[in-house]
Amino acid sequence: MSDKTYILGAGSALIDLLVNVDDAFLESINAEKGGTVITEIDEINRIITASGVEPQTVPGGSAGNTIFGLAELGMPTSFIGKIGRDREGAVFRDSLLALGARDAFRYADGVNTGCCLSLITPDSERTMRSNFGASSLLSGEDLTADDFAGARHFHVEGYQLFMPGLVERLVELGEAAECTMSIDLCAFEIIRSMRKRLAGLLPRFDMIFVNEDEAAELCGPGTPQEWAKRLNEIVPIACLKLGVEGSIIRTRSGRSDRVKAQVVPAVDTTGAGDLWASGFLYGYLNGYSMAESARFGSIVSAEVVKVVGPKIPAERWPVIKQQMGIQGV
């Protein structure tokens, strides 16, 4: 592969388990709606049994969703993640490699591939219970400079902060490779528990992706415009995702773009923010303006909320590309 060509992601290689429930069920298991909790696999299985619903299974994980989206858009990609030597791991790996991705997977013997139970309520909100399984065994010792050889951009999810020293090592290698870098903080709980580490790490990134809850947790009380300004004081490009209210993109030049969302009837918001990042990164890495890149994000995220889970049907990608103006579709 030629120099500086592909987008490298690092994250939890998870299989998503999608289950539709009502608000009463969330109350019965004492779940904070919209939150994410790390959970033992036995507890995840207990919750599924209690729901009485057979889950739908698809490849997931925050950074994985973003990389899958970029691969579908025709960008050269690679993904660092650890999987088990099981059926679920093979599904995740083979699904991404079928899109032309460079293989950077690691393997854990005798450990299940990680999973994320997504409890979807009628308002399309999701409440997640994650078990990282094999993905939790990824460490800085698994990484080398070769992983970043040829990478033009590196994207990591906030969940990797749960592995001591891992994000620091990834950032160190990214800096050495002189690629641009982005982070999606993923959940307000991560910010609550990792605030000290984030203070040292975030200024080393070129771009940050957050939603309203995460911005409020990181920046304190304020308006979306105030949050975007505070974020931009830390990271050169701040991407604040506001759901149906669109997004705000602010850069160090002082420019702030407010971009409308493409509002559609939502079935499930799982992966919406991750796929928004796919569209934005596609635009950013192909030289489009911040506003146009955010519009691309809105196009892609509007498609994924029409279906249950983070996987957009294959037949919809040509339509997405046409809406974005991508040639050759």
Q: pLDDT value at position 2?
A: 45
pTM, 2 dp: 0.89
Q: What percent of the chain has pLDDT over 70?
A: 98
Note the pLDDT tens digit of each residue in 158-215.
Answer: 999 999 999 999 999 999 999 999 999 999 999 999 999 999 999 999 999 999 999 9
Note the pLDDT tens digit of each residue in 288-326.
Answer: 999 999 999 999 999 999 998 889 999 999 999 999 998
* Residue 41: alpha-carbon gap to chain centroid: 22
Whole-number Å distance between alpha carbons of 183 and 167: 10
- Domains defined for the chain, CATH in brackets: 6-324 (3.40.1190.20)
107 contacts 85 by C-beta, under 8 angstroms: yes
Residue 133 reports pLDDT greater than 60: yes
Compute the CA torsion angle 33, 38, 42, 48 (nearest 10 deg): 30
62 contacts 114 by C-beta, under 8 angstroms: no
Note the pLDDT tens digit of each residue in 33-67.
Answer: 988 898 998 999 999 999 999 998 899 999 999 99
Band (81; pLDDT cuts 50, 70, 90): very high
Closest CA to 67 of 54, 80, 57: 80
On average, the pLDDT of the chain sits at 94
Residue 132 reports pLDDT greater than 90: no
User: What is the CA angle 325-78-61, rounded to 5?
Assistant: 85
In the sheet with 256-259, reading across from the earlier edge strand, the strands are: 102-103, 77-80, 6-10, 151-157, 180-184, 207-211, 237-241, 247-251, 256-259
Backbone angles phi, psi at 119, to 5 degrees: -95, 110
Q: Beta 82-84 vs 106-108: how paired, if at all?
A: parallel
Residue 1 reports pLDDT greater than 80: no
Band (124; pLDDT cuts 50, 70, 90): confident
Identify which has the larger pLDDT, 124 or 318: 318
Q: Which of 53-62, 120-129, 148-157, 261-270 has the highest mean pLDDT?
A: 148-157
Range in 33-47, 94-108, 221-235, 271-285 with the lowest mean pLDDT: 33-47
What is the pLDDT averaged over residues 219-235?
96
What totals of helices (H) and strands (E) does the chain contain, helices first?
A: 11, 16
Helices 290-304 & 317-324 angle (0-180, nearest 10): 160
Band (328; pLDDT cuts 50, 70, 90): low
Helices 290-304 & 272-285 angle (0-180, nearest 10): 150
Residue 269 reports pLDDT greater than 90: no
Q: Per the structure block, which two tokens stand in for 183? A: 């982070």
Helices 62-72 & 87-97 angle (0-180, nearest 10): 30
